[in-house]
Each structure stands twice: as C-alpha cells, then as structure tokens.
Chain A
Amino acid sequence: MSLLKPFSKLPGLNTANILLVESEEQFQQSLADALVEETAVTVNVRLAKSLPLPMENEESRPRIDLVVFIINLTSELSFQSAEASLKYLDPGYFLGKVCFMVTNARKASAPTERLDAVRKLAASLHCPLLFAEDQTPDGVANATERLLTILKVSAGLVPMATALYLSNLTRCTVPPDIDQPSFD
C-alpha cells in the first residue's frame, strides 16, 4: 500500500499538479481538457479511477498539489469508491489539499441521503465541497475555474495565501440539525 504524500517531492517552477479521482472516468476527461488550457501556470493533470495509484508511475509522477474526488450523486458505487480511496492519502493532504466535487446533484433520481452522506464526509475531513454541472460546456468551464482557484493556492502560487488558510474559509460545514426530520 503506497500512501500518496504531499511533500515527498520538490515542486516545479510555475507548475501546479492536480489529481482527479473519479470511478466512472467520464467527467474527469472533459475537466482535464479544460484545466490544461490555463496559460498563466502549467497545469499537469493526473487521472485516476481510484486510489492507491500504481507503484510503477511513482517516479514520473510530480508532486500532487490538489486531489479532487468527483462523486456522481446518482451512483452509490461512485460514492463508495471515493470513500474507499480516501485512506490511501497522507493525512497531510487534508490540510487543504483535498476537495470533493459532486455532479448530478440536481437530478431527481439522486437520493437526498446520499448528498447528506457526502456533506458529512467532506465536513468530517474539513474539505471543501463543490457542486458541478457535467453535461454542459458552461458547467465544465465553471467547475474548471473553481478548481483552478483552489489549485493555485494549494500549489503555493498565490502570495500570502496557503492551502490551510483557504480551506478554513471554504471547508464544508454541516448544519447541526441535518439528522433532524425537516418540517416542510
């Protein structure tokens, strides 16, 4: 079992590296295509279905600055896979270098319990939770922009800001009455 560590390698000059983890491997491709369009910094994208990452790529893999778990809310498998992958991350990542991205949250077929479970998971790990629309080009562009903002900070490219500082502001919080039955 190889643990992915945030500081085991040296950073590259003006480079940010992002790892997209999605069990369905659908949205990550379009997201990756949009992410590498960024011109201000060089963005390296690594795509994975789940963690742990294979050992043989260890050498060629750059330092990963941000890990994004993409969860399709309509699929239980997608959530379980992300949950199982989490334990292959070094605890250091949870100081602002992990975020969750949820798709299909507006679909009626997505049970609300699953969204609650994702929110609890993100809150317990002090990670931000983003919502994205994966079907439209606009939605992909939007999601890309949000990820780039977080990525630049966590890669140390924004002066005076650190990943830990940002995550204190953006991390997901769960309302205390999430388990209470609603009255409406």
Chain B
Amino acid sequence: MDDSAKRLLQRFMRRIPTQMLKTTLEKWSRLTVAQQKSLDFTQSKWALTEALLDICEENKWTTKHISELEMIYVIDNPNQGMWHAFQLMDPEDDAHSVELTQFKEQFKSHLSELIRHVSVKIKKHTDEAVWIRIAWGDSYSRPNHLKPTYVVHYLQTPYVFVTSLTSKQKPLLSQALVLSTRHHAIKDANLSGKKFTAIRDLLMRQYQQAFPTKYPSPLKEKNQTVSNPLIEREQAGPAANRLQMACEAFGDGMLPQLQSAVYKLETKFRDQTNKTMTEREESFRCVVKFASTNLLESLRDCASSGIASTPVTPLLSSIPLKGRNYFVITDNSPGPSSQMHQKTDG
C-alpha cells in the first residue's frame, strides 16, 4: 500500500461522520465478515483509521479500492461542495441510444486521449444516474486522488452536474463528455448550488411545479387561518391575491433548496438628477446577489407577505421557470433616452 493510498484513506476518514462509517463500509463490501466484526465503531476515529489501514495493507489494496470507498460515500451524501450544472447541446441522431457500457468505454478512451495521467472511475447509481470520479494529473505527475472531480450524468438527458472542476480541466471534460454522449456542444446551464439534489430537481423538473392555470380562483380552502368569528381580516382579499400570485410563480409545494441567485447588471445608469453618470457611454456594471438557506422559499414568502411586489417580476420567477440562478441583464436598445426595457440573457 503506497503513500498516496494511505493519505487518501486518512482524508476520507476525516471527512466521514462516524455514524455513517459502518453502512458505507458495508456497501463497499470488500471487508470480510470477520474483518467487519473486528472493527469497533465505538473507538476513536484515529484508532479506526489505523485498523482500516492494517486491513488494507493485509489485502494489498491500492488507491483504486480506497477511491471506490470514497465514491460510495459521495454518492450517498451528494449535498457537499459546490455543484455546477451543464447542458449538452445539439444531439446527434443516435444520441438517445447511448447506453452505459458504451458510454463508459468511450468516455474513458476519449479522456485518456486528451490527457495522459488521469484516473477515471464510473459507477451507475440506482436512480439512472452515472457517477464519474476523475482524479486529474498533469503531464509530469500522477493523478491526484485528493482532489477528485465528480461528474453526474443522467443518460439520455442533456444534463450534467459537476463539482470541483478547475478551469484548466473544464475543456478536457467537456470534450470527452460531448463525444461520448454523441452531442455537438456543451454549455453552462447557469445553475449552481451547494445541494446536488436541489439543482438536479430544479433543472430536471423533479419537484412539484407551478402551473398558472392550476389556480383559477383564490385559494379559499388554504386560507382558513381565521376561524374565530370575532377575528376578521380587513384585507383578506388582497392577501389571498398575493398568495395566489406567489403560488403561480413558485408553486405551492416544497421547493428545491437553492442558496443564491446572482444578477449581473450591464445596463445604463439612469437617474435624471445625476447627469455625469447618466451621460456616460459605458454601461453601469454591478452585481446583485440574493442569498438565503432556501432562496426560492424566501422569495415566495416575500411575495405572499407583500414585501416584494406582486405579480412577481419575471426576473425572480424565471429562476424556477428556466432552472438557473445566474442571469446577465442587458439593455435592449442603447441610448440614455431609451425605456427601461430589459431582457435577460446569458
């Protein structure tokens, strides 16, 4: 067992919570029953690491086996790190017939053509997702297993989710993905978040969605908070109206947990009292960022409580509608006298 495998195991043990260790090791299914029994999970992590290292040494397991263990843990706990979504474009005719073994072979061969030192591990998860773990090296160094890139692709869909990818590795991964999934291009889906499940659900529409036609009238049955005849809401009508508007924009069920939405403004500065800024030729650049533990819930609440104006502005409602949380806002037509027509683009 070499040094890098040892370090990988130590790092893995540092990351994993003790209560999850047992189930993860069981899923790994490389330990014999006797070995499983010999591990005392009430011990300290340090002692457990030493025991595991001994077992690995005994069986002459290498980095390959340890990275398998890490992968099992990451697949079970995907809501860590920063996930970015990508979308494959222009499918070829046979794109829909790509199946797992073919994809596996193609992806590996394409990637190893592009870069010599790379270690790829592909595993199919139960829910049709293909998980890819890539340890990158460069022309002179062996693959670094301590900083792997995780890629999740759902076969026959154009969606790819990636975590911890550097800009240097991005073109390599893009090319390998495009070729092996039989597409022509890949583009950034402008969606990122800390929760993998949330951005997957948002992009692949796997949550209870808003259908504007679903609410023809104010939600009477949901508005029965006031039951006492002595208590009366003066503005019950507008409140119900706001709630309806909010539900039309964001739906009324659970929403995927997004952490942030970023709007990059590249518009002209407009303020009649400030001539110097208004008459400048260049656009006024600024970034507006909304952050919350559950952004979509917060926005819905803002709209229904009247903090944000209703009907919800398309800028906010297009987060769930278009499945993205990064927008660039530019002016439609140049010139300071033009109206406030804006389009979202990016």
Contact = CB atoms under 8 A, between A and B. Distances in A.
Interface of A: 19, 23-25, 29, 32-33, 36, 42-50, 53-54, 57, 60-61, 77
A146 B16 CA distance: 54
B12 to A, nearest CB: 41
B231 A36 contact: yes
Given A23-B306, A25-B305, A46 B232 contact: yes
A33 B234 contact: no
Nearest to B237: A54
B225 interface: yes
A44 B230 contact: yes
B217 interface: no
A43 B232 CA distance: 11
A36 B306 contact: no
- Which of B234, B237, B306 gathers the greatest number of chain A CB atoms within 10 Å? B234
B322 to A, nearest CB: 29
Contact of B235 (A32, A54, A60): A54
B305 A47 contact: no
B230 A53 contact: no
A29 B225 contact: yes
Nearest to A15: B230
B233 interface: yes
A47 B233 contact: yes
Interface in B217-270: 225-226, 228, 230-235, 237-239
Interface in B191-231: 225-226, 228, 230-231
B301 to A, nearest CB: 11
B234 A77 contact: no
Contact of B234 (A29, A36, A42, A54): A54
A63 B306 CA distance: 27
A46 B235 CA distance: 10
A69 to B, nearest CB: 14
A98 B58 CA distance: 82
A49 B235 contact: yes
A44 B230 CA distance: 5
Given A23-B306, A77-B307, A46 B234 contact: yes
B235 A33 contact: no
Contacts of B239: 25, 49
A33 B306 contact: no
Given A29-B225, A54-B237, A45 B306 contact: no
A29 B224 CA distance: 13
B234 A53 contact: yes
A53 B23 CA distance: 60
Contacts of A24: 305
A29 B231 CA distance: 9
Contacts of B233: 46-48
B230 A47 contact: no
26 contacts: A23-B306, A24-B305, A29-B225, A33-B228, A36-B230, A36-B231, A42-B230, A44-B231, A44-B232, A45-B231, A45-B232, A46-B231, A46-B232, A46-B233, A47-B232, A47-B233, A47-B234, A48-B233, A48-B234, A49-B235, A49-B238, A49-B306, A53-B235, A57-B234, A60-B232, A61-B234
Interface string B2-46: 000000000000000000000000000000000000000000000
Nearest to B230: A36
Contacts of A57: 232, 234
